[in-house]
Structure 1
Amino acid sequence: MKITPYLTFDGQARDAFTRYHQLLGGELEMMTFAQAPEAEHFPAEHRERIMHVCLSLGDFQLMASDTMPGDPACGGGTYEGIKGCSISLHPGSIEESQRLFDGLAEGGQVVMPLEKTFWAERFGMLTDRFGVSWMINCEQA
Structure 2
Amino acid sequence: MAVLKAYIFSDNAREQADYYARILDGKVVLLHIYDELAVSEHQATDRVEHLELHAAGAVFYLADMKGIVRGNALDLTLEYGTDEEAGRVFEALAEGSTVLVPFTSMFWGRMYGRLIDRYGVGWQITTSGQAAADS
Given candidates 111, 118, 122, the residue that maps to 1:133 is 122
TM-score (norm 2): 0.83
Consecutive unaligned residues of structure 1, counting only runs of 5 or more, are: 70-77
**1:39 Cα deviation after fit:** 6.2
Tell me how many residue pairs correspond in the alignment: 128
After the TM superposition, which residues 55-70 of structure 1 pair with which residues of structure 2 at under 5 Å, given as runs?
A: 55-57=53-55, 60-67=58-65, 69=66
Name the one with the larger strand percent.
2
RMSD over aligned Cα, in angstroms?
A: 2.0
TM-score (norm 1): 0.80
| Structure 1 position 49 matched with structure 2 position 41 | no
After superposition, give the CA deviation of every residue in 1:57-115 in whole Å (9 maximum; x if it has no partner): 48631112111x4xxxxxxxx32125411110012211111110011111110000000
Q: Percent identity?
A: 27
The runs of at least 4 aligned residues of structure 1 exceeding 4 Å deviation read: none
Partner of 1:30: 31
| Contact preservation (8 Å) 2:25, 2:56 | no
Partner of 1:112: 101
Letter in 1 for 2:113: G
| Contact preservation (8 Å) 1:8, 1:82 | no
Structure 2 Cα separation of the partners of residues 109 and 59 of structure 1: 25
Consecutive unaligned residues of structure 2, counting only runs of 5 or more, are: none
**1:48 Cα deviation after fit:** 2.1
| Contact preservation (8 Å) 2:21, 2:55 | no
Q: 1:120 to 1:18 in 2, by over 3 A?
A: same
Partner of 1:21: 21
